[in-house]
Structure 1
Amino acid sequence: MRVLIAVTHLLGAGHLTRAAALARALAAEGHAVVLASGGSPAPLVRTDGVRLLQLDPVHIRGTAFSDLLDSEDRPADGALFARRREALLGALADLAPDAVVTELFPFGRRALAAEFLALVEAARARRPRPLVLASVRDILVAPDRPAKVAEAHARVADLYDGVLVHGDPALAALDASWPVDSRLASRLTYTGYVDEGGPLPETGPRAGILVAAGSSAAGLGLLAAAAEAARRRPDLGWRILAGNGVSEPAFRAMGEGLAPGTLERARPDYRALLARAAVSVSQCGYNTAVDLLAAGPRAVLVPFEAGRETEQRLRAERLAARSLASVLPEAELTADALLAAVEAASSAPEPPAHGIRLDGAARTAALIGEMRRRRAPAGLDLDPLRAALDAAGEAGRRVRFWWRDDDAVAGEPALDRLLDLAEGTPILLAAIPAGIVPSLAERLARAPLARAAVHGLAHANHAPAGEKRAEFGPHRPLDVLCEEAEAALGLARVRLPEVLPVFVPPWNRIAPDLAAALADLGYAGLSAAGGGAGPVALVRHDIDLDPIDWRGTRSLVDPARLVADLVRRVAAGGIGLLTHHRVHDAALWDFLGALLPLLVRHPAVDVADPRDLFSVRPVDGEPAAWSSAGTRIS
């Protein structure tokens, strides 16, 4: 792929560090990546294998995020913004990317909205259109006005294909810091935390107190308190690292009276130092938290809270709640308070194993590739379906989705592709008993959510010439139909490790008298199409959406018609999808690749397991449960 990532860091270098880690992970997979950075150059940020496009840099003073300054500390003017926008659009034209990623926007960087929107809108106008994705950290700054939330959500809905959340909901889901409605929830994908640090050294005895406060001057208060604590208790073995954003006069003043080697500039081997420290003292930015999770020292966190910053405090409290750190609020920070916190941490138990995902960089690279492969085919616009699902969710309505695939006989590449696509989603796999070969049983043993059902006996047409095809239609005596249906269930049980006693008639046609007799033949369920032959004495669930144009191209039905059918099914409360993996062409696979992630991830959708759909039937007004062997158990 070709990927363009746009990021502007304004305070510390954390946003750029994370974006660069994603870029390196993509480059390591062989993709061409342009990283467009609009903040101040950051020498310690690695861009191996990545083309770095440095825009005219902007930064801020303090926490005034709306007052952007240029490299000479002057207010950024229109000419500077025009140059930045031209450079971004030039990179888009030159690279012709398959994916465009905006870091933080549209959830933040409102002062740079014009250039981000110019990039995104130009990307969406390209043909073929690239994926457009937002990239955000685990915790965002809580919005101060509902209008900001509404604006961000509208931009995601109108302009973005998805939002990559670089965190693990086991520690902090996005809704811990930002309102998440059903529309936004359907677009979120958690990648795990992006660990951009290098490998850890061999573990050995831990010793000393390591203090760090990021790359900017925002940690001056923490560094000053640590320096004073080190003057009072040099015996604890302090090492204090000041970022390049700390001015040289401030750095020299801080070091007065400290033992040699106590105060240094930030070092690229911070992670290795952290792995050997007895206690870490730091703020709680994203990258710092990831370093702590990876290295596992006892930790004292002094989260940055100036202005409206709430991100670090929330993250620190989540870590403390899992006994992974202790928190010293910035408002209570003094040398004495820091010494007390360090001494308490020194005698605390080792942090427990946490199980939080730290493979977010590699997973992000894989996810972008997967999303690209699952792009909708030409002419397929799923926005009406997404809007219908969003409306159902907002109204509190649930939409049931279930999936049936017909004609399975063997463990072949097409079945592998289907089951890969269905990973995590239950599917009813209708197998033709007389055609089953051993490789099907072997493949289903590795697909725990694929539920086999009985697809006729041999999928043989017994309808007279001129009539619609049917194997179990009303063209043969009932006793013959019953004998073959019963034999089909027995044969399927011999050839497959587990079979649901559900009858799926070939061509979805079944004689009404056979449908009424299935329960006596050991079946618990029936699945055909369109309601069919009236009431039967077992559970019946029919499919209602077949995307194949059987009477025409035998490829994908007109996409607009398909989407309109899906919208109607949402209004009716359920979607039963039918596929035929053995005859799919590229358009059908692309359709499924685009449709399924939207359906199975949408919060208004309940994905039904065929075992649940067909496990209960009414008997004399009371429900009766059935085992997978077809025997009545209650």
Structure 2
Amino acid sequence: MRVLIAVTHLLGAGHLTRAAALARAFAEAGHEAALVSGGVPAPLVRLHCVRLVQLPPLRIAGTDFATLLGSDGRPADADLLARRRTLMVEADAAFAPDAVVTELFPFGRRALAAEFLALVEAARARRPRPLVLASVRDILVASTKPERIAQAHARVAALYDAVLVHGDPALAPLDASWPLDPATASKLTYTGYVDEGAPPAPAAARAGVVVAAGSGPAGLILLRAAAEAARRRPELGWRILAGHGVPEAALTAMARDLPDGTVSRARPDYRDLLAEAALSVSQCGYNTATDLLATGTPAVLVPFEAGGETEQRLRAERLAARGLARVLPEAALSAESLLHAVDAQRAAPLPGRHGIDLGGARRTVAIVEELRAGRGSVRHPPRTPRRGRDALRSALDTAADRGRSVPFFWRDDDAVTATPALDRLIALAARHATPLLLAAIPNGLAPVLGLRLEEAGHVSVAIHGLAHRNHAPPGEKPAEFGAHRPLDALRADAATGLRIARDRLPKASVLPVFVPPWNRLAPDFAAALSDLGYRGLSAVPGPDVPGLRRLDATLDPIDWRGTRSLGNPDALLRDLAAAVAEGRTVGLLTHHLVHDAAIWSFVEELIPVLVKHPAVQVVDFRHLFDQVTVDSDAGPSKSRVARIARTG
């Protein structure tokens, strides 16, 4: 297929870098890709195999996004903007793409709305009509004016088939930064982070401090503070890289009295330098964050916050919450404060494997391929296949005929705050009077979640680890509570997680049930949970643990290793029918933050089939853990309620 991506970067080159990475991914997968760029050309952005259409470039001064400047530095006039619109529409006509992607718009670039809308409307007028997709990063900057947010939502509803979110909701769900309405939320598809860099060369040892601050002049305050810090502590081995947008005079001034090579222009081998460094000092733009995640380099982050920008600060704080970085606010930045932060981060434990999805480029290609192959599936997901439904109903009917009950419970993971997706989840459970076990990440809990749960009497909260941080060594499956750390450390984190949840959430909603991130935990740690005050464990089917009730998930509808959308629904239902026939508990596991329309449709059809069937007995979590005393010697098999709680 042919894919056209339209992007205009105005401050740094991050938007262009990500759009170019996506275009290359399409080209490398055998498709034709065209990139329409409306910003200033960036020399380090790679565009091999990609057709480039360069519009007359625009830029801004400082953070004044409302005033667009032409290449001569003067405000863009009507003729220049009209010429850009014409070239945009002509590019669509000449290339005749099967998919048109607008980067950031309609969630941003309001000043360029006329040209983006001209492109979208021209594309929608062609026959056959191409897909029209929005492409956004993990974190957006929402307007303080509700009418502007409503306008963006209205444009998505009227003009777009889907919204590609290039992030991992385990780190930053989109509605943590943008107030989504249900209609827009239903069109979101998370791709994972777009890692545009090549794999770094392996480093024999790490040494030195690498400092970078993007491609433009916005990072000058950080670069100057780093240069002064290098003068005070040269033994740390500094390498300060300035973007090509930094004036030459500023570069020369920074390099004064420093050894040759300490200050230089940004380099194409930046990622290799980062992989060899003992520490990174940088802002926290999208591409910087993916570089840090790809190389595993400890970091001090000084997020860009001028002009009311909040994107980098939010991303930096979420990385810091996982132990991957230390945040130094830009307002507190000086050579002295930077050296203090560097020393503190160098003394901190090395970050473990984070488990954050960096496969966004490849998965974006797969998602667009599937959308094109199944036109209409975004707005109207196919109903659950009849054969699978019939097999499940037959298994349930057989159980009822034999007088056998089928225990069922529903767990949803990764809650941290109140979002439209959570509202939809809670409403679905309430509509069918189904108790819901919400696995919440203690370190990320927002106060608004507690307020939301006060209104949801049928929702209980389990403890989802501490920070959902991966501590597994390279090459092993991610785990926060695996056998990779001392038992005392695991016990301390689990105790802290329970305490935080009880402090921040309504006490009536918090149950002493432990849910290990990635459903993995060390056997000796599982045996220690009851001593910490836990009375339940929910993971995937495993052995009984003395002192704990088990409620293990058996059905996860998401294709995590492939599309990250709905797995084969017919196969899912046939597996579920087999579990019912074998007398196993049905434990549904969902992840509301990453549901697309197909997953929501599957779950919304499945819940009433289960809870309305006379053979199904729904587990009441609060009754199970508030009313039943656990027999630590006999394990969870002494009572009827215990039999309901067991899985596998």
Band the TM-score falls in, shorter-chain normalisation: 0.5 to 0.7
Paired position in structure 2 for 1:47? 47
Cα distance in 2 between the residues matched to 1:168 and 1:4: 24
What is the aligned-residue identity percentage?
Answer: 62
Deviates more, 1:170-179 or 1:607-616: 607-616
The CA deviation at 1:297 is: 1.1
Does residue 214 of the first structure (1) align with residue 214 of the second (2)?
A: yes
* TM-aligned CA deviation for residue 203 of structure 1: 2.7
Please state how far the C-alpha of 1:211 moved relative to its aligned partner.
0.3
Q: What is aligned with 1:560?
A: none
**Structure 1 residues 610 and 349 mapped into 2: Cα distance closer, same or farther (>3 Å)?**
same
CA shift at 1:124, angstroms? 1.1
Match of 1:77 in 2: 77
* Cα drift, residue 423 of structure 1: 7.7
Q: With the length of structure 2 as denominator, give the TM-score of the two structures.
A: 0.64
CA contact (8 A) 2:200 2:271 kept: yes
1:60 aligned to 2:60?
yes
Normalising by structure 1, we get a TM-score of 0.65
Q: CA deviation at 1:605?
A: 3.4
Q: CA deviation at 1:2?
A: 0.6
What is aligned with 2:153?
A: 153
Alpha-carbon distance in 1 for matches of 2:202, 2:567? 41
Summarize the alignment of residues 598-617 of structure 1 with structure 2, pairs less than 5 Å apart. Answer: 598-601=597-600, 605=604, 607-608=606-607, 614=613, 616=615
> In the TM superposition, what is the alpha-carbon distance from 1:143 to its structure 2 partner?
1.8
Preserved contact between residue 275 and residue 295 of structure 1 (Cα < 8 Å): yes
For 2:15, the equivalent position in structure 1 comes to 15
Q: Does 1:125 align with 2:125?
A: yes
2:449 paired with 1:450: no
For 2:277, give the aligned amino acid: A
Residue 141 of structure 2 is matched in structure 1 by 141
User: Could you tell me how far apart the structure 2 residues matched to 1:321 and 1:381 are?
Assistant: 36
Aligned residue identity for 1:126? R
Alignment correspondent of 2:179: 179
Q: Which amino acid aligns with 1:244?
A: H
User: Shift of the alpha carbon at 1:607?
Assistant: 3.5
Alignment partner, residue 305 of structure 2: 305
Residue 614 and residue 269 in structure 1: after superposition, are their counterparts in 2 closer, same or farther (change >3 A)?
same
Q: Alpha-carbon deviations, 1:305-331, whole Å to 9, x = none?
A: 000200000000000000000000000
Report matched runs for 1:104-115 at 5 Å.
Answer: 104-115=104-115
In the aligned structure 1, how far is the partner of 2:229 from the partner of 2:426?
57
Larger Rg: 1
- Report SS of the residue matched to 1:211: strand
Corresponding position of 1:281: 281
SS at 2:12 equivalent: coil
1:292 aligns with 2:292: yes
C-alpha distance after superposition, 1:26-49 (max 9, x if no partner)? 000111111000000011000111
Distance 2:17 2:123 in 1: 24
What is the deviation of 1:616?
A: 1.7
Gaps of 5+ in 1: 401-419, 430-446, 454-497, 503-521, 523-595, 619-632
Closer, same or farther: CA 452–229 of 1 in aligned 2, 3 Å:
closer
Q: Does 1:102 align with 2:96?
A: no
Instruction: Summarize the alignment of residues 487-566 of structure 1 with structure 2, pairs less than 5 Å apart.
Output: 498=578
Which residue identity lines up with residue 604 of structure 2 in the other structure? V
Task: Give the 3-state SS of the residue equivalent to 1:206 in structure 2.
Answer: coil
Q: 1:487-514 CA distances to partner (integer Å, 9 max, x unpaired)? A: xxxxxxxxxxx38669xxxxxxxxxxxx
In structure 2, what is the Cα distance between the partners aligned to 1:346 and 1:47? 37
Match of 2:242 in 1: 242
Alignment of 1:249-288 (within 5 A): 249-288=249-288
The question of whether the paired residues in 2 share the 8 Å contact of 1:4 and 1:101 is answered with yes
- Contact 1:182-1:603 at 8 Å conserved across structures: no
In the TM superposition, residue 424 of structure 1 has moved relative to its aligned partner by: 3.8
Offset of residue 394 of structure 1: 12
RMSD across aligned positions (CA) = 3.1
Q: 1:394 to 1:288 in 2, by over 3 A?
A: closer
Contact 1:38 1:54 in 2 (8 A): yes
Q: What is the CA–CA distance in structure 2 between the aligned matches of 1:375 and 1:91, rounded to whole Å?
A: 24
Distance 1:205 1:397 in 2: 52
Runs of at least 5 residues in structure 2 that lack an aligned partner in the other structure: 384-419, 433-561, 584-594, 618-642
The equivalent residue for 2:205 is 205
Q: Which region of structure 1 is more displaced relative to structure 2, 278-287 or 340-349?
A: 340-349
Alignment CA distance shift 1:615-1:213 (3 Å): farther
State the alpha-carbon separation in 2 of the partners of residues 308 and 66 from structure 1: 14
Relative to structure 1, the CA distance from residue 612 to residue 329 in structure 2 (aligned partners, 3 Å threshold; closer, same or farther) is same
Query: In structure 2, what is the Cα distance between the partners aligned to 1:241 and 1:423?
Result: 40
Corresponding residue number in structure 2 for 1:189: 189
Figure out how many residues of one structure are paired with residues of the other and give that number.
440
